[in-house]
Amino acid sequence: MAKIVIALGGNALGNTPYEQLELVRETAKPIVDLIEQGNEVVIAHGNGPQVGMINLGMATAAEAKAIKSDMPFPECGAMSQGYIGYHLQNAIGNELAQRGIKKEIATVVTQVLVDENDPAFTHPTKPVGAFYDKETAERIAKEKGYTMVEDAGRGYRQVVPSPKPIDVIEKGAVEALIKDGYIVVTVGGGGIPVVRRDGLLYGTPAVIDKDFASEKLAELIDADLLIILTAVEKVAINYNKPDVKWLSEMTVEDALKYASEGQFAPGSMLPKVQACVQFAKSKSGRKALITSLDKALQALNGQTGTVVTG
């Protein structure tokens, strides 16, 4: 039995709440496969599409005078944690019930500490919200004052600051729930970014990368394995090129070398690899795994995926 932190991508959850509710029913199955094997599972998830749409929707409604004000980004993050957590709780709980497995599942709305002097605050890079064509993106940037950039050839998206996580404020609650046998959904969307001033916590407008937050949580709760789920079964070098090479294993040294060569796309595979490297380095014997959702169980059993070792 292993203690596993699973990082689930926000883009895997669909583009609308209705689509997400359908998709998580399939998402639940490989997660419950891991639970059924006796593993302690903690689930983290992204919220890039969801938090961006909440923020834009609230801002648009406020401009139209339909509501009294827009919604600050930390609160948008909390809202996304709540409804994504509910969907995961519901789907995983139902899948457990169908298999006759008696396990409780809970979502923890999670604050994650960041440094307000992090240089990320002056250089927004984290894509959030929907994809747009260039013309629409330029119009939104002009009207809303957002920073819009091209994202991995898929269109244009808003980008916001993405500071590095320092600590998970509710880690004690997460550990207590795990000890009592709960499946925990936590650090949703990377957690709600907060800064500490004079001993008090204050929300700050940003989105923490869920891969880095998942890695930090995995360290703090002394997990055995970090699994980062993405759209591909394995990590590749020379991706989308005739000489593409799919990797079954990378050492920390290999991963750093490939990253320095620009093999991994920023905002896509690069943070996943960087998070895996950090976890593999953090303690002897720890390892991380990158694979697709449908291959999670096979990857855990060594049949596929990319393992990152120290």
Instruction: Kindly list the catalytic residues.
Output: 10-11, 126, 210, 272
Please state, as a whole number, how many other Cβ atoms lie within 10 Å of the Cβ of residue 7.
30
User: Could you give phi then psi for residue 166, rounded to 5 degrees?
Assistant: -105, -40
Of 191, 214, 172, 212, the closest CA to residue 41 belongs to 214
Nearest CA among 299, 42, 62 for reference residue 168: 42
For the CA atoms of 211, 51, 26, 184, what is the dihedral angle to 10 degrees? 60
Q: CB–CB of 2/269 below 8 Å?
A: no
How many CB atoms are closer than 10 A to CB 268? Answer: 18
Give the C-alpha distances (Å, rounded to integers) separating 237 from 60, 128, 221, 263, 276: 41, 26, 32, 6, 16
* Greatest extent of the chain over all pairs of C-alpha atoms, in Å: 56
Closest-CA residue to 226 (of 168, 307, 154): 307
CA distance 60 to 213: 30
